[in-house]
């Protein structure tokens, strides 16, 4: 198995939105912000090659809505043709795309505008796209809180092409990758668990834990739709990660790629953090 991280770009969000009710004088000790209180976030994807599968987890924001979303100050947005070629692949080789959820910063790169700007195509034309069923239903009929985070052009072409696969319950994709459902940040969020070897399981935590600084149970983003469920989700994920020494991979942390956690005196702490490539090489 080969696992590669892809930095699909960066954007900026208000620190108060990122860390919710946690006071700035507390969270700024763990995550930096600029003089306007904005935090730099990554869109870190995983590309997994195993046997006859090439799996991409999330696709970042893409380029279609950048003008509309300029408030978030997106930078360094990748071109997937160029980026995958740099790693020795082509977009047509991707067999599966797993979308943790359908907010624009997680699925926007799933489709792209053609050169004439009048038609939208699939970025990965041969890929099955995995989405939680309740998340898909929420996308089609969004609540007032999430409506501005969903764009039909990001996903309806996938449905129209017959490439959408909906997940109702926790599922084993293959012998290496399983998908588990979480419902705090939004309903039907998929969290991929990847068995790299007998001793190392990666957990791509998505927006269950957006950054290493978000590990404390009560540190919940103001973007989360169901805060109490978010805390319960996080507790469930961290308890398993601590018990089985799993490796947490952060999608949005611009400074920490991954870490292992341990439970000390009832609280979860980072045991060790660093680059994913270093963890996988050492293990």
- Per the CB < 8 A criterion, the answer to whether 3 and 47 are in contact is yes
Question: Which position has the token pair 């950048």?
Answer: 66
Structure tokens at 263: 């439970």
Partners of residue 54 on adjacent β-strands:
49
pLDDT score at 198: 87
Alpha-carbon dihedral sign for residues 33, 35, 38, 43: negative
- Span 167-187, pLDDT tens digits: 999 999 999 999 999 999 999
How many Å apart are CA 98 and CA 18, to the nearest integer? Answer: 24
Burial class (CB in 10 A: 0-12, 13-18, 19+), 154: buried
pLDDT score at 117: 67
Strands 111-113 and 128-132: unpaired
Partners of residue 39 on adjacent β-strands:
13
| Nearest CA among 175, 194, 211 for reference residue 279 | 194
CA distances from 184 to 20, 68, 205, 239 (A): 14, 27, 12, 16
Look at the chain and report how many structural domains it folds into.
1
Q: Which domain CATH number covers 70?
A: 3.60.15.10
Q: Which residues in the chain come in under a pLDDT of 50?
A: none
pLDDT score at 283: 54
Give one DSSP letter per residue of 23-48, joined into a string. Answer: -HHHHTTTS---TTSEEEEEEEEEEE
Which residues constitute the domain of residue 92? Answer: 2-282
Enter the pTM of the model. Answer: 0.96
pLDDT score at 114: 81
Region of 227 please: left (phi>0), alpha (psi -120 to 50) or beta: alpha
Cβ neighbours, 10 Å, residue 69: 17
Three-class HEC string of 157-222: HHHHCCCEEEECCCEECCCCEEEEEECCCCCCEEEEEEEEECCEEEEECCCCCCCHHHCCCCCCCC
- Per the CB < 8 A criterion, the answer to whether 229 and 221 are in contact is no
């Amino acid at each position: 198995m080969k696992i590669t991280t892809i930095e699909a770009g960066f954007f900026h969000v208000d620190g108060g939105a990122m860390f919710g009710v946690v006071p700035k004088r507390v969270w700024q000790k763990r995550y930096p912000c600029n003089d306007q209180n904005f935090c730099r976030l990554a869109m870190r994807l995983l590309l997994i090659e195993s046997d006859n599968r090439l799996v991409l987890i999330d696709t970042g924001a893409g380029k279609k809505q950048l003008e509309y979303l300029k408030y978030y100050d997106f930078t360094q947005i990748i071109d997937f043709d160029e980026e995958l070629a740099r790693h020795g692949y082509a977009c047509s080789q991707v067999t599966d795309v797993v979308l943790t959820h359908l907010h624009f910063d997680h699925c926007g790169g799933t489709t792209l505008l053609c050169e004439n700007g009048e038609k939208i195509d699939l970025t990965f034309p041969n890929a099955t796209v995995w989405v939680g069923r309740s998340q898909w239903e929420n996308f089609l009929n969004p609540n007032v809180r999430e409506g501005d985070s969903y764009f039909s052009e990001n996903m309806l072409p996938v449905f129209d092409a017959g490439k959408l696969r909906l997940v109702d319950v926790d599922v084993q994709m293959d012998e290496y990758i399983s998908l588990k459902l979480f419902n705090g940040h939004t309903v039907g969020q998929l969290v991929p668990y990847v068995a790299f070897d007998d001793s190392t399981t990666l957990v791509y935590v998505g927006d269950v834990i957006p950054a290493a600084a978000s590990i404390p149970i009560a540190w919940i983003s103001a973007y989360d739709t169901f805060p109490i469920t978010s805390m319960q989700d996080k507790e469930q994920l961290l308890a398993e990660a601590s018990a089985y020494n799993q490796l947490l991979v952060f999608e949005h942390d611009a400074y920490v790629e991954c870490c292992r956690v341990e439970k000390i005196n009832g609280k979860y702490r980072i045991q060790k953090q660093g680059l994913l490539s270093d963890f996988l090489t050492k293990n």
